[in-house]
Amino acid sequence: MTTFKNFLSEKGVQEDLASVLLTMAESFKSINAQIRTAEVGKAGSSNAYGEEQLALDVLSDRLIQDECKKNSVIGLLASEELPEEMKIGDGSFGVAYDPLDGSSLVDVNLAVGTIVGIYDLGEGGSFIGKKGDEQLASMAAVYGPRTTFLVATRDGEGVYEFTLKDGDFVLTNDSVKVEEGKMFAPGNLRAVNESPKYFELVKYWMDEQYTLRYSGGMVPDVTQILLKGKGIFSYPPYSKYPQGKLRLLFECAPLGMLMEKAGGAASDGSVRILEKSLEALEQRTPIFVGSKDEVRRCEEYLA
């Protein structure tokens, strides 16, 4: 069995980047432990003993911060839970993350995940102005019946899956590849009322008898496409979210990188997700991510 640590050294991943990846894998272990044991509470609410309970997304954010602060090569964090970038040291690496995506699914016991994009920001750098193409690595952890993560590095080939077994992440899939196939995860169906083009696209998928696989959590919904090796996830804009709901830095860029590294594609409907430069931390984007032909079809229907 190949542990994540051994994998990184076998692949010759640069030492500092490898240490950041290992830091994030450690965070996934702590978040996993919390999800399995913590009471499901809301930030600011009290438990039966009058103690303040933290919502799991806030707690997960703190766990990642604590883990990152132990690694001196990490200088800057950006989290979906924080209003601003957080400087934690002088290291040049920046980690952008969504600590617990789909956290509202925890209380109904559906899968949730953590999404990570890693950058070299240089001294005094910022995530603002960066493109997804500049990520050195991305990761997506899923806390489901099993605890797994997918990882890809910019300079390495392929996407790999690791699974938590007896306290260690071990390699369980070294050929994560996305080809073509009829599976769809159509997000934000409310948009069909406003967009006849999206309606036609969804109708195409139904007419062609695509298999519906949608959980409402972007991480499991996109990772299933990576692991089944086919399909499309969509989240178009509509009047409530004119730029879409999902965040470029924390969700779309890292998952877009994993999809491209596996042979798929990610687009906002006309532009490659990884080419979009970040204007604000909270920037949202529409997204169509999955098999190449499917993403092309979305662009054609929505043009």
Question: Among the candidate windows 21-29, 33-41, 66-74, 210-218, which touches ligand F6P by CB under 6 A?
Answer: 210-218
CA–CA distance, 169 with 90 (Å, rounded to integer): 29
CA neighbor of 229 nearest in space, from 273, 267, 178, 186 = 178
Rounded alpha-carbon distances, angstroms, from residue 260 to 64, 132, 194, 253, 266 = 26, 11, 30, 10, 7
Residue found by looking up tokens 């965040």 in the block: 247
Interacting positions 33-52 with ligand F6P (CB under 6 A): none
Interacting positions 258-297 with ligand F6P (CB under 6 A): none
Least distance from ligand F6P to the Cβ atom of residue 171, Å = 26
Cβ closer to ligand F6P: 53 or 188?
A: 188
Residue found by looking up tokens 């950041």 in the block: 20
Least distance from ligand F6P to the Cβ atom of residue 268, Å = 15
Question: Among 41, 75, 187, 237, which residue sits at the site for ligand F6P (rule: CB under 6 A)?
Answer: 187
Question: Among 102, 244, 256, 286, which residue sits at the site for ligand F6P (rule: CB under 6 A)?
Answer: 102
Per-residue contact flags (x/-) with ligand F6P for residues 144 to 183, judged by CB under 6 A: ----------------------------------------
Give burial (CB, 10 Å; 0-12/13-18/19+) of 204.
middle
Interface residues with ligand F6P (CB under 6 A)?
101-102, 187-188, 216-218, 245-246
